[in-house]
Amino acid sequence: MTFPAYPLTDRQKQLVTMAGELADTFAQRAAAHEWEGSFPYENYKDLQQAGYLRLPVPRDFGGLGADLLEAVLAQQRLAQGDGATALVMSMHLANIVRLGVNVTGSNELFAQICQAVVQDGAIINTAASEPATGSPSRGGRFATIARRQRDGSWIISGRKTYTTGSPVLTHFLVNCTLEDEAGAEANLPPLKGERGTILVTRDMPGVHVEFTWNTVAMRGSGSNDLVLEDVHVPANYHVDAQIPTNPAVQNQVAAWQMVTTAVYHGIAEGARNEAIRFARQRRPNSLDKPISSVPHIQEKAAKMELLLTESRALLYGLSAQFSSSPTSVSASDCAAVKYLVTNHAVEVVDLAMRLVGAAALSLQSPMQRYYRDVRAGLSNPPMDDATITMLGKQALEG
């Protein structure tokens, strides 16, 4: 049984090395930030200086032009150091691609965003979830309202929850309900739907972040509430009008969600590495060898290896397939990999905790952070029940 020994190419090795150096630095800060309840602002300065923010930005704009496999390899390594920071990055990377794949020819808004990332270190994410609706993947009308004005500009008000990376985000893709207050005399084209996305930048008056994030998992992700109070947004920041959604490329959007799946695989890899290190060094006075020689310890290590081997084959294999042939990968393929890899990751971390034993519960150990953080993956879309329903219908209905 053999699999490609990723990272395989010089380019992949370079990106994984960059991610590894960042991860090792972030790991040294993670515990202090977690228990202080502080946000690791310095991590994002390091990411900017290293060029990591530019990973998927097209080379024409000064980016690195990374393909999906390269981004997945980098993300799983970054997450071994700090899963919360890697989670913020996964959403930044995926949203740049989500916009880019819908662009045909030159596009002023996309160029502006890419230039902000490259030149100013801009960080972007979607603001979608709300107190009343929860995850937008479940449906429901957005309570955040964007009202179109006579000159085509927008006034937006509302509150968004789970805005991951909010302390450092410079650009918010705000999902909202659209209302037209322009009137017929404004002679504007009719709105094409009642839902839409408006680009909001942090420096606009009326934009502020309310620090509400206080959870046991992904504590350093800064997934706070975004509050919008009569924010005036230019007409050309209506994303749907400037970068219309192309149904033919939506599988590519779904595939790039695997950079988030890679985060949870990376957390599992980190837990495995810490457990193996512990087993090789731990030698109680009842043994003349480290506990790595004990059969039940070896059994747990073997089970972790089996799960991680399967996850690598799925995650890297589908990412490599997509990178060489994007149209050959479906949204259901990506959902299935997310389901399997994320649930494997939870199981690996549980095994690592059992291997280490009570020492894994120490606040001095990264194991308890891996244990808490990996469970956040179960709440990232697509959720398990949605994936099971999708796959079941496909199998039964054809």
Do 66 and 152 reside in the same domain of the chain?
A: no
pLDDT per residue over 285-314, tens digit each? 888 899 999 999 999 999 999 999 999 999
Cα separation of 27 and 220, whole Å? 12
Rounded-to-integer distance, Cα 107 and Cα 364, Å: 49
- Do 330 and 387 have their domain in common? yes
Which positions of the chain have pLDDT values less than 70?
1-3, 134-139
Residue 62 lies in a domain: yes
Tokens linked to 284: 């109680």
pLDDT at 3: 64
278, 357: one domain: yes
Q: Is residue 290 part of a domain?
A: yes
Inside any domain, residue 2: no
Q: Which of 106, 89, 103, 8 lies closest to 50, judged by CA?
A: 89
- Dig out the tokens for 162 from the structure: 């789970």
Supply the DSSP string of 264-316, one letter for each residue: HHHHHHHHHHHHHHHHHH---TT-SS-GGGSHHHHHHHHHHHHHHHHHHHHHH
Do 279 and 377 lie in one domain? The reply is yes
Judge if 64 and 175 occupy the same domain: no
Domain boundary pick from 244, 272, 287: 244
Q: Would you state the pLDDT for residue 137?
A: 59
Domain holding 170, by residue range, is: 125-244
Query: Strand 171-180 relative to strand 145-148: parallel, antiparallel, unpaired?
Result: parallel
In terms of domains, do 162 and 200 share one? yes
Q: Quick one: DSSP state of residue 198?
A: E
Please indicate, yes or no, if residue 4 is contained in any of the structural domains: no
User: Do residues 381 and 280 share a domain?
Assistant: yes
DSSP for 349-381, written as a single string? HHHHHHHHGGGGGSTTSTHHHHHHHHGGGGGSS
The reply to whether 275 and 379 lie within a common domain is: yes
| Alpha carbon distance 363, 367 (integer Å) | 9
**Looking at the structure, do residues 159 and 98 belong to the same domain, yes or no?**
no
| pLDDT for residue 385 | 96
Residue 229 lies in a domain: yes
Where is the domain boundary, 81, 97, 121? Answer: 121
pLDDT at 289: 93
CATH number for the domain including 290? 1.20.140.10
Q: Do both 135 and 239 map to the same domain?
A: yes
Q: Which of 81, 99, 121 is the last residue of a domain?
A: 121
Whether residues 53 and 193 fall in one domain: no
Instruction: Report how far residue 98's alpha carbon sits from residue 235's, in angstroms, rounded to the nearest whole number.
Output: 21
In total, how many domains does the chain have? 3
The pLDDT tens digits of the residues spanning 210-252 come to 999 999 999 999 999 999 999 999 999 999 999 999 999 998 9
Same domain as 144, residue 239: yes
> 342 with 386: CB under 8 angstroms?
no
Q: CB burial class (10 A; 0-12, 13-18, 19+) of residue 85?
A: buried
Q: State the pLDDT at residue 135.
A: 61
The pTM (predicted TM-score) of the whole model is 0.95
Q: Residue 131 belongs to a domain with what CATH number?
A: 2.40.110.10
- Would 379 be classed as within a structural domain? yes
Which amino acid is it at 123?
A: I
